Amino acid sequence: MTLVEINFDGIVGPSHNYAGLSLGNIASASHKGDPSYPRAAALQGVAKMRGNIARGLAQGYLLPLPRPNTETLRRLAVDPAQDRALLAAAWSASSMWTANAATVSPAPDTADGKCHLTPANLVTMVHRAQEWRDTKAQLDVAFGNRDHFTVHEAVPPSFGDEGAANHMRFCEGHGAAGVEVFVYGKPGGRFPARQHEQASRAVARLHGLDPARCVFIEQNPAAIEAGAFHNDVVSVANERVLFTHQEAFADRQGAYAAIRAVFPALEVVEVPSSAVSLAEAIETYLFNAQLLTLPDGSMALVVPEECRESASVWNWCESMLVGNGPIRQVIPVDVHQSMANGGGPACLRLRVVADPATVDQRFMLSETRAELLEQVIGRYWPEQIDPSDIGSEALAETVRTARYKLLESLDLTILG
Ligand code: SUG
């Protein structure tokens, strides 16, 4: 058994659009009503995945969920003419951000030696709360090997759970036992605190984690206020490294000390507010990066292109590379279409540490399969969606057909 980190990226769905649905997500609010480009969005996602394959990393994907969601429309009795936001919710392609698909505890961390996955209930936002049952159906197939994986039900409401976006794992190597860190927000601010402490604690119990190797940390209310609606907007972890903004946590020294108490090898790469302001960090998504261990053991940070366009962020990256720290490369990628809805490179992927041979192979990416995805997307994904198109029966048919062609090409019509 060789346990490696596999990144499962969400394929951007054919209904990708900008509806301004996420209160507290600044990019989502500021792009509300813009035309979207689903084909370009999905191709940007595939290009990002291709980059990771070319780096010699294991790469998988998860599929778009069925949209428009007729059950949501029916259960909320949506009047398409009056209820434009609810209508858009039922059309949302938000499952592309698979960092919110589930929380994953790899086999070395759990009592029964299996990898545990709990789909996130995403109860705070109506367009996201509709995801988890379909997500679970997909996880049940992708991780259907019961000798190696357990897929749970989502944590029940009202405890909000947003999945891996608020979860970090520290370890000496991905296949070694880890320390799992859960970051939650306290309600009461201007924007919703989407991750509840009780949801995090329930996930830790469901996964059979050793309480002595779990750490629960409060997110800085000022970070939520500034637009860090998930912790992965202001920090990311990989192996022994925590790459974080100075203002990510309510009590930063306390947070680092609590992790260090159970994981003494912790290396904190902290970006001070004097170098990159919280606002700049959130605008560029510097921390919504994939911090990857490359086959040669060095670490690379895959950041959005937007980081290069900010003098303070790019200067900081360059000075980091000149130094002697653990992150040796910064690689910008174009995920502009996703970024405009508040989803950077890290939002687009769910990390699962597992032996790739134990995963359903229909979810694993190869060069050949990347070409296949590009062909299907190029042929069936709409080029552009204007907000006024949402609700049109012709577009609904295009979206359904596009998804079905993808399922067909991957031999996954079971999820139809
Ligand atoms: O839940 N945006 C997503 C972005 C999720 C980012 N994920 C992580 N940080 N891991 C959200 O806020 C916007 C949809 C719209 O407005 O049309 C949206 O759902």
Pocket probe mutation, ligand 1, options 23, 236, 347, max atoms within 8 Å of Cβ: 347
- C-alpha to C-alpha distance for 306 and 334, rounded to whole angstroms: 8
Instruction: Summarize the confidence of residues 229-252 as an average pLDDT.
Output: 98
Q: Which stretch of DSSP H or E encloses residue 241?
A: strand 241-245
Pocket probe mutation, ligand 1, options 15, 94, 167, 287, max atoms within 8 Å of Cβ: 94
Half-sphere exposure of 65 (CA within 13 A, CB side): 29
| Residue at 407: amino acid letter | L
Model confidence at 106, pLDDT cuts 50, 70, 90, reads very high
97 lines ligand 1 (CB under 6 A): yes
- 307 tagged catalytic: no
The pLDDT of residue 307 is 98
Beta bridge partners of 241: 238, 267
Do strands 235-238 and 241-245 pair parallel, antiparallel, or not at all (unpaired)?
antiparallel
Model confidence at 318, pLDDT cuts 50, 70, 90, reads very high
- Summarised one tens digit per residue, pLDDT across range 361-403 is 999 999 999 999 999 999 999 999 999 999 999 999 999 999 9
Q: Is the pLDDT reported for residue 185 higher than 90?
A: yes
Which residue blocks in 167-220 are alpha helix, DSSP H?
197-206
- 16 tagged catalytic: no
CA of 94 to the centre of ligand 1 (A): 6
Q: Which residues lie closer than 8 Å to 408 by C-beta, 6 or more apart? A: none
Q: Is the pLDDT reported for residue 120 higher than 90?
A: yes
Predicted model pTM = 0.98
Q: Is the pLDDT reported for residue 1 higher than 80?
A: no
Q: Which stretch of DSSP H or E encloses residue 260?
A: helix 252-262
99 lines ligand 1 (CB under 6 A): yes
- Say if residues 279 and 226 touch (Cβ distance below 8 Å): yes
- Say if residues 27 and 279 touch (Cβ distance below 8 Å): no
162 lines ligand 1 (CB under 6 A): no
- C-alpha to C-alpha distance for 409 and 416, rounded to whole angstroms: 12
- Summarised one tens digit per residue, pLDDT across range 190-228 is 999 999 999 999 999 999 999 999 999 999 999 999 999
Provide the 3-class DSSP secondary structure of residue 209.
strand
The pLDDT of residue 290 is 98
- Summarised one tens digit per residue, pLDDT across range 122-148 is 999 999 999 999 999 999 999 999 999
Q: Whose CA is nearest to atom 1 of ligand 1?
A: 22
194 lines ligand 1 (CB under 6 A): no
- Summarised one tens digit per residue, pLDDT across range 248-277 is 999 999 999 999 999 999 999 999 999 999
- Summarised one tens digit per residue, pLDDT across range 42-82 is 999 999 999 999 999 999 999 999 999 999 999 999 999 99
Beta bridge partners of 170: 179
385 lines ligand 1 (CB under 6 A): no
CA of 178 to the centre of ligand 1 (A): 28
Which member of 16, 230, 247, 306 is catalytic? 230
- C-alpha to C-alpha distance for 48 and 183, rounded to whole angstroms: 27
- Say if residues 104 and 351 touch (Cβ distance below 8 Å): yes
338 lines ligand 1 (CB under 6 A): no
**Average pLDDT, whole number, for the chain?**
98
The pLDDT of residue 141 is 98
CATH of region 4-415, choose from 3.30.450.20, 3.40.50.1100, 3.40.50.2300, 3.75.10.20: 3.75.10.20
- 283 tagged catalytic: no
Beta bridge partners of 304: 333
Pocket probe mutation, ligand 1, options 22, 128, 166, 390, max atoms within 8 Å of Cβ: 22
